[in-house]
Structure formats: structure tokens, C-alpha cells
Amino acid sequence: MTYRRAGYAAELAARGHRVEESLIWSAEAAGGLPDPATLDRAIDELIGSQQSDAIIAADDVWAVRLIQRLKARGYRVPDDVAVVGYDNLDLATVIEPALTTVDQQHVLYAEAAIDLLVKVTNDEPVAPVDRVRTIRPQLIVREST
């Protein structure tokens, strides 16, 4: 189970919900760019069979390709199907409609890592509790939702 899926399951449980396995779709092959046939399988399963009205993609590349494929098949985003990505890549702003996405806050990760590295390098005491940093992702709402 991936960290994202585990986090998804934990958050649902914390809110008193259970995971609906039928609403989770994964491509058989890991990695690589999604081809039209794979995107069609996702759309057929999630939108056709499950009648979902939103898709949360594993990353922005999948989300953008899903938007393109949904539009090619006559779906309107977000009117018929909302799409959310993950990464907040530059391409999220050049697709029409612009992609709602989760920004992992890479700059904050880097700042926290450098801060800790500088302290350790300078022999500054770092309490065990200060060695763990939590960086919260940020939802960037755009037109695809």
C-alpha cells in the first residue's frame, strides 16, 4: 500500500468512513505516461461503471491527460467530472481548465532540511523532537473542480 493510499484510508477512518475499494482504480503498470487505452479504462471504470463525478489522479501528468481524454470523449470538466492532480507542476496552469492540485510544498521541505543540516553541521544541539518536521501540503484550487 502506498503512503498516499494509507493516508487516504487513515483520514477516512478518522472521519468515520470506510474505504470504498470500487472507487479506487490503479493502472496495472507502474510508472510511465498514461496512454489513451489506459485512460479510457480508467474513465470507463470510474465514470461509466461507478458513476463517479470526480477523479483524484496520482499526479498532475495523469490529471492533465485525463482532462484531455475526458474532453475528447465528450465530457465537460468540471461540469460532468471534476479532476484533481498532485504535484502542482507548471503544466497545471496551461491546461484548460486549469488543474486543481495538491502542492507538496517542496520549498518548505528544502528550507527545513537545510535548517536541520546547518544546525547539525555547526554542532548545535538538536532535540529529537526537532529532528522531525511536518510539512503540510496545500490544496491549490483552480477551474477543474
The CATH number fitting domain 3-26+33-104, selected from 3.40.190.10, 3.40.50.300, 3.40.50.2300, 3.40.430.10: 3.40.50.2300
pLDDT at residue 12, rounded to an integer: 94
pLDDT at residue 28, rounded to an integer: 63
Contact call for residues 87 and 104 (beta carbons, < 8 A):
yes
What is the Cα–Cα distance from 55 to 71, expressed in whole angstroms?
14
Question: What digits encode the pLDDT tens for the residues 65-74?
Answer: 999 999 999 9
Q: Which residue has the cell 544541539?
A: 125
Identity of residue 35? D
Contact call for residues 119 and 134 (beta carbons, < 8 A):
no
Name the residue with higher pLDDT: 49 or 100.
Answer: 100
Question: What digits encode the pLDDT tens for the residues 122-145?
Answer: 888 888 877 788 899 999 999 999
Question: What is the grid cell recorded at 1?
Answer: 500500500
Mean pLDDT of the region 49-56? 94
Mean pLDDT of the region 91-96? 97
Run of H or E residues at 4: helix 3-14
pLDDT at residue 98, rounded to an integer: 98
Mean pLDDT (the chain) is: 91
Which of 19, 88, 84 lies closest to 57, judged by CA?
A: 84
pLDDT at residue 1, rounded to an integer: 55
Q: What percent of the chain has pLDDT over 70?
A: 97
Residue 47 in this model has a pLDDT that exceeds 70? yes
Mean pLDDT of the region 80-101? 97
Q: How many CA atoms lie less than 13 Å away from 104 in the CB half-sphere?
A: 11
Residue 29 in this model has a pLDDT that exceeds 80? no
Contact call for residues 64 and 34 (beta carbons, < 8 A):
no
CB atoms within 10 A of CB 8: 15
Name the DSSP letter for residue 23.
Answer: G
Q: Which residue has the cell 477516512?
A: 12
Residue 30 in this model has a pLDDT that exceeds 60? no
Question: Domain boundaries in the chain?
Answer: 3-26+33-104
pTM confidence score: 0.84
Residue 78 in this model has a pLDDT that exceeds 70? yes
